[in-house]
Amino acid sequence: MQQEHFDVLIVGAGLSGIGAGYHLQTRCPGKSYLILEGRDCIGGTWDLFRYPGIRSDSDMFTLGYSFKPWTDPKAIADGPQILNYVRETAVENGIEQHVRFRHRVKRAAWSTPEARWTVEVERTAGEGAIELVRFTCNFLFLCAGYYKYEAGYTPEFAGVADFAGRIVHPQKWTEDIDYAGKRVVVIGSGATAVTLVPELAKKAAQVTMLQRSPTYVVSRPAQDPLANKLRRNLPMRLAYHVIRWRNVMWGMFFFQLSRRRPDKVKNLILGGVRAALGPDYDIATHFTPRYNPWDQRLCLVPDGDLFKAIREKRAAVVTSEIDTFTHDGIRLKDGSELPADIIVTATGLVLQVVGGLEVSVDGRAVDFANTLTYKGMMYADVPNIASAFGYTNASWTLKCDLTCEYVCRLINYMDRHNFRQCMPHNADPDITAQPSLDFTSGYVQRSVAKMPKQGSKQPWRLYQNYALDIVSLRFGRIDDGVMQYS
């Protein structure tokens, strides 16, 4: 069986994986690395999702890399723009030559005597044949995201077989789906639904967003006038970092305000919806959630496109529960029916830990559900492994960039002191395990029991705060007494 060795193996060639490659090249020169990607191209999420209107729900000054300024006038970018940005980064920095496509990582086993990981990979060869190959590495860096690529989450709906039209999950959208002039029902109220509805409404006869309960929806300009002005008058890199920090600070302030003054923020958000839809619209039913702001992630609509589609009667929102699918659409529990030619189940993702890998240490299987996370990126008693996992209350890349920096600091520290193994270990009996995610969103609650836990004290506790993480990850001690070296 083929076997190759690298200093670092990176799993995933999406936004965070390409970022990890860049940081290793620039901060750990001379280290050999390889990126293993299960699909056949670079891009991750931004290549996987192909549904109409796919875009970011974060501004690109914070979702973009710290080392590559975002130069497009649009601050809220669409999927193809982001995909081009990621691929451009890979080409400009020679990272693409370090990627092996159609290599799906299945298992990783650590050997303490050898101080290395053995990674088993399924490689898809010609005509779909799958062969098993092995790699070994000194450090394993997981950048495969937080959800299952193979399929999204779809609840069990009664009567699905009776529906005469087409049912599609956005994660499985294909180019042959023709919705022009059709009646479309989008089930869901999250980021995907509020993205799909206004885009589908441009061509469809009627689009209905069917939600069981509302979500907080905030409108924001697709272009940032101040950002574009600064870029015209300042050097590009300086302007980028000024705008980035302004957006970071505003996001942190708004999140803290939401937690400390939830009623005030709730009234502010609903006031914006009322201004967009008018005083006669039933905001209490369709846009007033049962939870406080930031108990779940807010939904962003650039230039109020969702509200515009509703005002122009091209889209509608229905808040009710589904009784059953019928031949011609969906019957609700209140007895009413929604006619449909196409039903889109924008009902969420399936979360998975460490990309679905089977991980073992010296023959012992690692149960991540009972494992504490160290600084939100490494795992108690699991050596030489890290995961890029972003923020739930801010742009994903902000935390991933800091994680990459820290991993490089860690590797360089080990080299300077001739260490081969690093492993966080909790020796404090007073630390208690807590859920790593405190969101009430359905996709989180369905999977939170399987996720690694955070601890009640640092460095096991998650900040979810970019400024505090900079202090901890960029400037904090590598030899903090918790990380053990040998």
pLDDT digits (tens, 9 = 90+) for 258-302: 999 999 999 999 999 999 999 999 999 999 999 999 888 889 999
The answer to whether 420 and 414 have CB atoms below 8 angstroms apart is yes
Please, which pLDDT band fits residue 151 given cuts at 50, 70 and 90? confident
Q: Where does residue 229 rank: exposed (0-12), middle (13-18), buried (19+ CB within 10 A)? A: exposed
Q: What pLDDT, on the 0 to 100 scale, is given for residue 1?
A: 63
pLDDT at 276: 95
End-to-end CA distance of the chain: 30
Question: Which of 62-66, 294-298, 415-419 shows the lowest per-residue confidence on average (mean pLDDT)?
Answer: 294-298
Burial 152-162 (b: 16+ CB within 10 A, else e): bbbeebeeeee
Q: Which domains can be identified in the chain, with CATH numbers?
A: 3-149+350-485 (3.50.50.60), 160-345 (3.50.50.60)
Percent of residues, the chain, with pLDDT higher than 70: 98
Mean pLDDT, rounded, for 34-45: 95
Cβ-contact 123, 103 below 8 angstroms: yes
List, in order, residues 6 or more apart from 241 with CB less than 8 Å away: none
The pLDDT score that the predictor gives to residue 129 is: 85
Angle between helices 236-260 and 225-233 (to 10 degrees): 150
pLDDT at 170 over 90: yes
Task: Write down the pLDDT at residue 96.
Answer: 95
Alpha carbons within 13 angstroms on the beta-carbon side of residue 370 total: 3
Identify the pLDDT of residue 350. Answer: 84
Nearest to 364 by CA among 387, 376, 381, 377: 381
Is residue 146 pLDDT above 90, yes or no? no
Q: pLDDT of 174-226, one tens digit each?
A: 999 999 999 999 999 999 999 999 999 999 999 999 999 999 999 999 999 99
Q: How confident is the model over 314-335, as a mean pLDDT?
A: 96
Give the model's pLDDT for residue 441.
60
Mean pLDDT on 82-109:
96
Mean predicted confidence (pLDDT) in 23-43 = 96
Question: Is the pLDDT at 54 greater than 70, yes or no?
Answer: yes
pLDDT for the residue numbered 444: 64
